Structure 1
Amino acid sequence: MSYLEYTVKHTPTGLRKVLYLNWPLIILLSAVASVGFLMLYSVSGGSFSPWAEPQMKRYVLGLVVMLFVAMVPIWFWRNMSVLAYIVSVLLLVAVELVGVEGKGAQRWIDLGFMRLQPSELMKITLVMLLAAYYDWLPLQKTSRPFWVILPVILILIPVALVLKQPDLGTSILLITGGGLIMFIAGVHWAYFAAVIAGGVGLVTAVFQSRGTDWQLLADYQFRRIDTFLDPASDPLGAGYHITQSKIALGSGGWTGRGFMQGTQSRLNFLPEKHTDFIFTTLAEEFGFVGAFSLLVLYALIIIFCIFSALTNKDRFSSLLTLGVAATFFLFFAVNMSMVMGLAPVVGVPLPLVSYGGSAMLILMLGFGLVQSAHVHRPR
């Protein structure tokens, strides 16, 4: 009996699919989203508009999308992986041709009823493709050079397109997420050591080249690095965002100033308070306790995904689940590092909390794939 025949024969139907859903994961996702609704209500001055109400509607739509995807057998999504990746690449190309520009970047396609950001979709379809690739590839070939180069190319194609938008944050997430899946799939550690060593060498060369005839970066790019390392050197210019963010984080203390009492957000000192920097609003109003509680919810989501992957006997399902979990982890890890000044400001939203349509819906689609893998795993 082939794998497909076995899977079809043992696929649960009807009410059993609903019972097999990973309900703790759904509860955790809803809890995190509720934190987002609360903070969006706060930053809008105690009003459901213009941010909290649309975000709530998007989450409900995202839940519907997740449940729909969860009900479809996982083997169908495996067979759709290549097509989903190709469609995502074509959408990234379309952004270059007919994309909508906003805040100096051309990243969206206007669909009339919403703006779609194809780079968000690529984060999930790339995970699908790599999981299907390593499910198809025999284990003994995983670390052979030819079979390592192919997924690297598949990762670099969308990275190159996203960098043109420009969107450095998403490019970093695509490279890191793809690399994590390759590592989880069993690619030898020596490849990653070589990449890390090359990266360290490149960074060293960049700094050594400053002020020489062979300078590798432009002067303004070096000034951005200086600002990241020392935001106080330009507090009213390039360092303004991170300086105000640190003030908000520090002023929250252990328990915070209180709900809707954050001065940095209420007096509009904090930029992008409803999107990229919403974590600092949470930290200012609810302090270390509130920020740590959100981090615990994120950690529990990752743990439930890992447990689901480890108990799944299907290689594609396990890799897909771990890939979505890794992407989710990178989202909040990069955002939190960014607002605390531990990483450059690259425009990565806080998952399920920051205001945004494409990021919310695509992330829920990703968790729908996790649910499909969980519901249809061999029992």
Structure 2
Amino acid sequence: MSPVYRGFARYKGLNTGKEKKAIVVRRTPFTIQLTIATGEAKQPVSLGVDAGYKHVGLSASTEKAELYASEIELRQDITDLLSARRELRRARRNRKTRYRAPRFDNRIHTKRKGWLAPSVENRINAHLSRIEAVLRLLPVTKITVETASFDLQLLKNPDISGKEYQEGEQLGFWNIREYVLCRDGHVCQHCYGGSKDPVLNVHHLESRRTGGDSPDNLLTLCETCHKALHRGEITLKTKRGQSFRAETFMGIMRWEVLNRLKASHSELKVHNTYGYLTKHARIENGIAKSHGADAFCIAGNLGAERLGEFFFQKQTRRNNRQIHKLSILKGALRKRNQAPFEVKGFRLFDKVACQGEEGFIFGRRSSGFFDVRKLDGTRISAGISYKKLHLLEKRQTYLMEIRKEEAFPPLPEGRGLRA
């Protein structure tokens, strides 16, 4: 029995199986609709939201029992896709039109108040979408969201204080390039002057389109080493410094999610809590660290009986809009980058029954053979005929499977709360 079904039946106090007091509305999450009148009495249901950059935890509970638990893995490819689209458009314009100087007076963020980057907006909408999905299942009366603020300068320099906050690492330099050259002592960080090349370049350790122009992503190389690196003749041992992408996102979205929830659900109690309170409640009650466990603690009903299992959800891309591959084959043939929409009645990411297990279609061939896997990448079958598959659910933006909750390891003797 799925956690939602058991939790919902427990919430209503009904045995709906044999007496046919309910009908099945949805398979995942397993949702039932009552066919009998039960009155208007409701128990207060609290929803805890553990917001995050890569993962989101949700838990809905009453004082006695947890009714719903889930962890969502968000998409991480938004920036890459937008950058690839920008490069393709620029290349196409260069091929088909005369040169046109870039214009900076037509940017959308100067016209629309409250504009956010698409990668940030996508994650915020994902938080709101999953919260709305729970509100459609259960009569939630209170929503608690964990918000967090990060001191990026303190993360970079633990000894920072006072006016040093107003004096960044690039103070006194004209630009980032000048700062990086000075930081590296105007010496190539690969050969350390061995090439005798006086020309110095600033190299991006991680692609500029994903890593940006942060000083932690830049390194001084002489032109000889720089060209050899791009030819694949040498390999750098240096890795990029710490990225604060996730911390920056949390700083942006912590109030955005809260304010949007308050605006769209003024009838509910919507408020925030903080990470140190969540951590204390989790350790005090001997609960293993996970996004779903944090959400359970955020909800506040620490005496409730936990489900022991949760829905793991993976956000996927809806459409691939790139029609052709970039590489042109012999004979000037451009191969399509899009697979057929449907093969033998099955689509990409459809949930199917395969060899006695539930999995998702991760690969398909026009011959009717499919690659079926679980969401953690475990392969059920590398190539199985469509005749041996049974369709359970059509693909959705959020793929779902049930997972077991991990147990909390015991504390060593003589120790209290964990740090």
- Bigger Rg, structure 1 or 2: 2
For Structure 1 versus Structure 2, the TM-score category normalised by the shorter chain is: under 0.3
- Alignment TM-score, normalising by the size of structure 2: 0.23
Greater strand share, structure number:
2
Greater helix share, structure number:
1
Structure with higher RCO (Cα < 8 A, 6+ apart): 1
